Chain A
Amino acid sequence: MARLIFLGRLEDIAGTGEMSVASGPVEHILAALDPALAVQLLGEKVRMALNGRLLTDMGGIVLGEGDELAFLPPVSGG
């Protein structure tokens, strides 16, 4: 199994901050999600991090056992 993490407003859209998914290509994992959520996750302002490292390109990413893929919407600190 792998894990998807939803930060900020994406947590509200997903209805959860964290989701366990079967390992495999990210495209397949996203295709199995609620389309309304998948559209938000693929928004142009959403960045992704695999095991805490920012991805520059998600093409061809395959989640392995224990991997954590985080979806990061625009930040607002301070």
Chain B
Amino acid sequence: MADVRLAESALDPVAEIAAFNARYPTSGGIVTFLGQVREGGGVEALELKHYGPMTLPGMVELARITQARWPLEGLLIVHRSGIMCPGDPIVLVAAAARHRRDAFEAADFAMDHLKSESWFWKREKTANGWRWIEPREQDHDDLERWR
């Protein structure tokens, strides 16, 4: 029931969302979240690295936990790996449920855990070269909300 993927090339959020929505006609509420590379701050490129033996298995486990916590009819998690430019999609989460509250919370939960508990490492390129991005304090506070 969960569709979980690691995308090593461009992802098409419009096509993904249309296909997901069509798959769950009995869901009264579908929440989708799209994370994209922010424009500005002199960022020319963003690179997401993953670790084969752990990243996708970890995402699958996150989907399992999310589905155990909320009564979802469908869940989609697609996360990019590789080099992206400003405006490119990085991550797409969609949660389908009979009622909207479950869909909102499940998508929020999955995103907080993708940000700071999944096996990805991010670096950005500016005129000064590449720089690794460390997790923010806010990311940890976001996670605490679910404990």
Contacts and interface: CB of A to CB of B under 8 A. Distances in A.
Q: Do A and B come from one complex?
A: yes
B120 A52 contact: no
Given A77-B48, A77-B79, A52 B53 contact: yes
B20 to A, nearest CB: 19
B143 to A, nearest CB: 11
Interface string B51-63: 1011001000000
B109 interface: no
Interface string A4-48: 010111011000000000000000000000000000000000000
B106 to A, nearest CB: 16
Interface in B70-107: 79, 90-91
Given A7-B121, A52-B54, A52-B57, A78 B135 contact: no
Contact of B134 (A5, A7, A76): A76
Interface residues of B, number: 26
B122 A76 contact: yes
A70 interface: yes
A49 interface: yes
Contact of B121 (A8, A49, A68): A8
Given A78-B35, A78-B91, A78-B115, A7 B51 contact: yes
5 contacts: A11-B49, A49-B53, A76-B134, A77-B118, A78-B79
Interface of A: 5, 7-9, 11-12, 49, 51-52, 54, 68, 70, 72-78
